[in-house]
Structure 1
């Protein structure tokens, strides 16, 4: 690698791979400025790139599940406590 960063795109998000003393790290940015980063360092740039893609995929999966849960709550298939507990578990998984 000639420079200390690489850039790629996945599902419209930019994945930036930065090399440092501890290894490679990925930061993902959406077109509207949302940012995902797990803070981990990896020994190879392709691992950091793959993790970046997985973070983006996880973001979309959680978003879809949150939408499903909201629809289930509004259709009265979940009570408020069930909805809140399930929704909070998704939020914890994204942070």
Structure 2
């Protein structure tokens, strides 16, 4: 497993982040079909990035918008992370510039 480093921390309220992600996802988005299989595992405290684990699939880095608008097919921006080493790379990179 990977170690969290500043600015990444365990989410204080993971369920709220998971609910927000589902709220922001448009049904046409690829990630939408996994909405019931996601679990927030890390939150970047310097921005709105969250790393979610997708059950039996890997991870995804999502930049939440926190918009109250209707979901659209362009946001939130996300990047699939296939392996734990990809997650570690994101965390290490952000930590180096924090």
Query: TM-score higher than 0.5 here?
Result: no
Greater C-alpha radius of gyration: 1
Q: Which structure shows the bigger proportion of residues in helix conformation?
A: 1
Report the TM-score when normalising by structure 2: 0.33
